[in-house]
């Protein structure tokens, strides 16, 4: 059975990790707990981060696993950490971290939707100030009823 790409259980408001690695592990744990990925996918995200930063600008990072780790993904999905206090991602401060789990076209569609939403600083500021998971879900889902980014 296909899982929704985003649910309230995949969002953490006011998360306060102390390091980039903790933030990636926290978002990865949400994907693991909800059955989207195998536990080793967290290590795949950390591995990718060692070779190439997933910071995309405007205070947003989009960690995801390396291509060879696709077998660790059970369902396409995203986990969102809202971090108003931010976490250092090298010289940048990240306030919104969106962990992505997806294969091929699903992976590209997820990244495309995230980039579209996060390209405007005002959108990111609104998401970082959001007080409910519904506000974040509405921003990333084209229609609240579909719960499908693809």
pLDDT in tens, the chain (150 residues): 788 999 999 999 999 999 999 999 999 999 999 999 999 999 999 999 998 999 999 999 999 987 666 689 999 899 999 999 999 998 999 999 999 998 767 667 778 889 999 999 999 999 999 999 999 999 987 644 444 544
Read off φ and ψ for residue 148, nearest 5 degrees. Answer: -140, 120
pTM score, whole prediction: 0.91
Range of the structural domain that residue 36 is part of: 8-140
CATH number of the domain to which 64 belongs:
3.40.930.10
CA-nearest of 122, 144, 130, 123 to 12 is: 130
Q: Is residue 146 part of a domain?
A: no
Read off φ and ψ for residue 102, nearest 5 degrees. Answer: -170, 160
The angle, 0 to 180 degrees and rounded to 10, between the axes of the packed helices 133-140 and 104-118 is 110
Catalytic site includes residue 107: no
Helix (H) or strand (E) run with residue 134 in it: helix 133-140
Domain count, the chain: 1
Q: Is residue 79 part of a domain?
A: yes
Distance CA 17, CA 52 (A): 21
Q: Is residue 145 part of a domain?
A: no
Catalytic option among 64, 75, 88, 107: 64
């Amino acid at each position: 059975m296909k899982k929704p790409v985003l649910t309230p259980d995949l969002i953490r408001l006011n998360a306060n990790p102390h390091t980039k690695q903790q933030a990636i592990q926290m978002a990865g744990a949400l994907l693991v707990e909800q059955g989207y990925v195998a536990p080793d996918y967290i290590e795949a995200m950390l591995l990718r981060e060692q070779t190439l930063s997933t910071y995309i600008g405007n205070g947003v990072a989009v960690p995801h696993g390396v291509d060879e780790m696709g077998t660790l993904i059970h369902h396409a999905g995203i986990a969102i950490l809202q971090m108003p206090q931010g976490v250092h991602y090298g010289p940048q401060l990240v306030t919104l971290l969106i962990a992505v789990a997806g294969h091929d076209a699903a992976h590209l569609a997820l990244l495309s939707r995230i980039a579209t939403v996060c390209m405007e600083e005002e959108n990111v500021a609104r998401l970082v100030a959001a007080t409910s998971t519904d506000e974040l879900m509405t921003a990333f889902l084209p229609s609240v009823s579909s719960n499908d980014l693809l």
